[in-house]
Amino acid sequence: MRLAIGRRLPLATVTSSQTGTEDTVNAVVRDGISLAACTTLRLGGPAARFVQGERPRDIVDVVRAADAAGEPLLVLGAGSNLVIGDDGFDGTVLRVANSGRGCDRLGDGLVQLTVEAGENWDQTVAWTVAEGLGGLECLSGIPGLVGATPVQNVGAYGVEIADLLVSVDLLDRSSGQVRTVQADALGLEYRNSVLKGTDSAVVLRARFELRDGGASAPIRYAELARLLGVGVGDRVPAAEARQAVLDLRTAKGMVLDAADHDTWSAGSFFTNPVIEDTELPAVLLRAQSVLRPEETMPSWPGGIDRTKLSAGWLIERAGFPRGYAGPGGKVGLSSRHTLALTNQGGASTADLLELAREVCAGVRAVFGVELHPEPVFVNCVL
């Protein structure tokens, strides 16, 4: 793959692995870019090469060329769910930056929204609300790009991508082909899909089924319903639901603010653990030692014969309150949300991982429950 460094291409050419022809790549290529500037944690070492693909064709060609050359390749979105090691990435980092969105009327009040993978997620949600479309408003304020949402099966306040996703267009790296995959083939489950934790495919665009008329989806989350003054299952104007979600997320330090280190995080660092029902009595017995008067351990159905626990509650009761300081005070838990591990300034990825291991060990010691990280790890391990 021949890439010029430090300037905008047309400038560089990539040979198509399928046709053998050379195509112009409209991308920005840089050498030695710090990946800390590309993640919401502001952590991570340099990239050997950094390419920004602003058209689907460019993304496809750069991936095909890297694969044909046997080059290490990291496909990067907004870096909001990513932990990159201090040594960075010794290969090509491709930042997805294709843009565009549009709607098709399906009838009966349904609308299909098609969005390019490089579009900002929250700006897309805001656009749908302004267009009078309901469905995505409870996913407001979540950082990242559209292409990452099906990979993670992003969810919040009673809504997840699996509820709304129709299909994705992706580049299958094993075949080099672009194909459309229906949502039910993606194995979407709690904060997971068949795309997560693998580099076998690159999402190029996604389609969602929404409803016109300006009303939200039914409000399913009790905290949000209370704030809106409605019952669970009621609908409200989508704009009102979006604002309420933004207010809740801001209060928890989960809306990015460059001036606020409490938001320098990867969002919720741990998923809510799901355990077998047969394990629950032992966990409840352990919890007796930390329960406050009149308190019960929060839990919810987690599937057939399974129970979901609150990771945030487990962390706090294991001795890690909001604002807990990690190594040297450079990392810590958010002062507003125990699930967010934050970079308080001058931290390294090693500092963050040390804190994460401490939290995991503490929860394991008190409750016998294993916490599992939500972000993707690159050139580092927990």
Question: 22-36, 43-57, 132-146, 272-286: which has the minimum mean pLDDT?
Answer: 22-36
| Phi, then psi, of 193 in degrees rounded to 5 | -160, 175
Question: How far apart (Å, rounded) are the C-alpha atoms in residues 227 and 250?
Answer: 14
Number of domains in the chain: 3
Helices (runs of H) and strands (runs of E) counted in the chain? 8, 22
For residue 322, the domain's CATH number is 3.90.78.10
Is 374 catalytic? The answer is yes
Q: Is 306's pLDDT higher than 90?
A: yes
Q: Which pLDDT does position 9 carry in this prediction?
A: 30
Domain boundary among 222, 251, 280: 251
Question: How far apart (Å, rounded) are the C-alpha atoms in residues 373 and 41?
Answer: 15
91 with 107, same domain: the answer is: no
Domain boundary among 96, 125, 145: 96
pLDDT tens figures, 221-254: 999 999 999 999 999 999 999 999 999 999 888 8
For residue 65, the domain's CATH number is 3.30.43.10
Q: Name which residue leads in pLDDT, 300 or 3.
A: 300
256 inside domain: no
Q: Name which residue leads in pLDDT, 7 or 160.
A: 160
Q: Is 355's pLDDT higher than 50?
A: yes
| Phi, then psi, of 335 in degrees rounded to 5 | -75, -5
What Rg value do the Cα atoms of the chain yield, rounded? Answer: 22
Domain boundary among 96, 129, 152: 96
> What predicted TM-score, i.e. pTM, was given to this entire model?
0.82
Question: 111-125, 185-199, 267-281: which has the minimum mean pLDDT?
Answer: 185-199
242 with 290, same domain: the answer is: no
246 with 286, same domain: the answer is: no
Look up the domain containing 142 and give its range: 101-251
- From 131, 130, 136, select the one nearest 164 (Cα to Cα): 136
The per-residue pLDDT of the chain, averaged, comes to 90
Which tokens go with 8? 């905008």
115 with 217, same domain: the answer is: yes
Q: Which pLDDT does position 252 carry in this prediction?
A: 86
233 inside domain: yes
363-382 average pLDDT score: 96
216 inside domain: yes
146 with 221, same domain: the answer is: yes
333 with 204, same domain: the answer is: no
76 with 125, same domain: the answer is: no
Question: How far apart (Å, rounded) are the C-alpha atoms in residues 146 and 135?
Answer: 15
41 with 67, same domain: the answer is: yes
224 with 110, same domain: the answer is: yes
- Give the other-Cβ count within 10 Å of 249's Cβ: 20
pLDDT tens figures, 58-95: 999 999 999 999 999 999 999 988 999 999 999 999 99
Is 64 catalytic? The answer is no
Q: Is 203's pLDDT higher than 80?
A: yes
Q: Determine which one of 101, 191, 286, 306 is catalytic.
A: 191
For residue 221, the domain's CATH number is 3.30.465.10
CB 57 within 8 A of CB 23: yes
Kindly indicate the confidence band of residue 109, based on its pLDDT and cuts at 50, 70 and 90: very high
Q: Determine which one of 54, 160, 316, 374 is catalytic.
A: 374
374 inside domain: yes
pLDDT tens figures, 133-188: 999 999 999 999 999 999 999 999 999 999 999 999 999 999 999 999 999 999 99
CB 66 within 8 A of CB 92: yes
Q: Which pLDDT does position 44 carry in this prediction?
A: 97
Q: 78-112: buried (b, 16+ CB within 10 Å) or exposed (e) per residue?
A: bbbbbbbbbebbeebbbbbbbeebebeeeeeeebe
Q: Which pLDDT does position 255 carry in this prediction?
A: 82
Complete DSSP assignment for 225-257: HHHHT--TT---BHHHHHHHHHHHHHHTT-S--
Is 191 catalytic? The answer is yes
Question: How far apart (Å, rounded) are the C-alpha atoms in residues 147 and 18?
Answer: 24
Q: Determine which one of 167, 216, 268, 348 is catalytic.
A: 268
